[in-house]
Homo-oligomer: A and B are copies of this chain.
Amino acid sequence: MQDTNYSLQQLLDFTVQIFKAMGCPDADAQTAAIVLLQADLRGVDSHGVARLSGYVRLWEAKRVNATPDIKVIHETPSTAVVDGDSGLGLVVAPFAMQLAIEKARNVGTGWVSVQNSNHYGIAAAHAMKALEHDMVGISMTNASPLVAPTFSTAKMLGTNPICVAAPAGEQPAFVADLATTTAANGKLEILQRKNEEAPLGWVQDSEGHPATDANILKKGGALLPLGGDREHGSHKGYALGAVVDIFSALLSGANYAPWVPPFPAYVPMPAKQPGKGIGHFFGAMRVDAFRTVEAYKHDMDDWIEGFRKAATVKGQDKVLIPGDPEREAEVERRASGIPLLPAVADDLKALGEKMGVPF
């Protein structure tokens, strides 16, 4: 079966209607849909509408509050902690990122840690909001425990992504958005669907041996931190994932480590809940809190051009700048539509029937 392309507008309208059918206020439904669709636009198919029915199942399981009272519960001139009141991360995160931007406007930088939230789509959707204000944006979140730290067989951390978005001048912005694992879980799901093996270094089996079975997580296996094994620096990927957990949950009072609430609604909540919901962390730094925007952008363009002109290995025609592939996907998908796997389209159709929204 072939993928079918759908227009951005069509998927946006449908997603807004689904969130409204869950009881989300109009503005929240719009916000959430735009954030979710950023993933499909940028080619991160695992994190977009393919997950819409997953969000609905969390709401059905009463783990998502469609009408949250999102509150600042602690703050200083450059920081805040936000309580997301169990709302969709797709709604809570934009609130928190906006707050970071406002604090940066006032005192140079803003840093917001979030408790009591849910999954927030792709990290880049939030960090990139800073770009419009000539600010550097930072976004990270903890997530369902799937990753074993170096030397362990236990799934103690999520894939805990970090995004840093830095504006440029004539050049498009630098946008690094990366899971702190060798491969994101979405990449593994693609292999599962294709019935293919994973490269060594992505996963381990239940005893911690190197494995290539893409379904190993269902058999007690785990994703590996960036680096893969100790000899190749997995302790660094583990440390980075841990930093994301500390900033997102230890600074906010969210759940951490293996006690982060799982995204799949059928997975029971951990018996221990040391905090509230899942945690995120956002930052915004005004470029002109450091030097003039003009001088910075001049150098940033020069930096990007230097990498674009760097000598390549045989068989590669260019060195990529972080964010290039996603930006190219967005250009193409705005023009030609967003391709959905038949299974995803069927799932959305079924979801629409259940929620009374035609797909």
Query: In the complex, what residues of B have CB within 8 A of residue A251's CB?
Result: 136, 285, 287, 290-291, 296
Q: Separation in Å of the A236 CB from the closest CB of chain B?
A: 4
A174-210 interface bits toward B, Cβ cutoff 8 Å, 1 = contact, 0 = none: 1010111111000000000000000101100001110
* Residue in A150, A246, A286 with the greatest tally of chain B CB atoms within 10 Å: A246
A256 near B: Cβ within 8 Å? yes
Say whether B319 contacts A150, CB under 8 Å. yes
CB-contact partner of A226 in B156, B202, B237, under 8 A: B237
| Cβ distance A144 to chain B, nearest Cβ, rounded Å | 16
Interface status of A295 (Cβ within 8 A of chain B): yes
Q: How large is the interface on A (under 10, 10 to 19, 20 to 34, 35 or more residues)?
A: 35 or more
For this complex, 15 residue pairs linking A to B, each with C-beta atoms less than 8 Å apart, are A74-B289, A78-B78, A78-B108, A79-B286, A79-B289, A81-B291, A111-B289, A150-B320, A151-B313, A152-B312, A164-B243, A166-B243, A235-B320, A251-B290, A252-B291
Would you call B253 and A78 a contact (CB within 8 A)?
Answer: no
Other A-B pairs beyond A251-B291, A252-B290, A257-B307, 16, CB < 8 Å? A109-B109, A151-B313, A152-B313, A153-B312, A153-B313, A164-B239, A174-B242, A183-B233, A201-B232, A208-B312, A246-B300, A246-B303, A249-B299, A250-B300, A251-B285, A257-B303
What residues on B are CB-neighbors of A156 within 8 Å?
306-307, 310, 319
Residues in A lying within 8 Å of B, measured CB to CB: 74, 76-79, 81, 107-109, 111, 113, 136, 149-154, 156, 164, 166, 174, 176, 178-183, 199, 201-202, 207-209, 226-228, 231-233, 235-240, 242-243, 245-247, 249-253, 256-258, 274-275, 285-287, 289-291, 295-296, 299-300, 302-303, 306-307, 310-314, 316, 318-320, 322
**A149→B307 contact, CB < 8 A:** yes
Q: Which residues of B contact A208 (CB under 8 A)?
A: 312-314
CB distance from A60 to the nearest CB of B (A): 30
Q: Which 10 A-B pairs have the closest CB atoms?
A: A208-B313, A76-B108, A176-B239, A79-B108, A79-B289, A151-B316, A77-B107, A251-B290, A178-B236, A78-B108
Task: Give, as a whole number of angstroms, the nearest-CB distance from A311 to chain B.
Answer: 5
How long is the Cα–Cα vector from A252 to B299 in the complex, in angstroms? 11
Docked-complex contact B228 and A109, CB < 8 angstroms = no
A166 to B245, CA, bound (A): 12
**A253:B295 contact, CB within 8 angstroms:** yes
Do B316 and A285 touch across chains, with their CB atoms under 8 A apart?
no
- A94 → B minimal CB distance (Å): 20
Taken together as a complex, chains A and B put the C-alpha atoms of A209 and B202 apart, in Å, by: 21
| Chain B residue at minimal CB-CB distance from A299 | B250
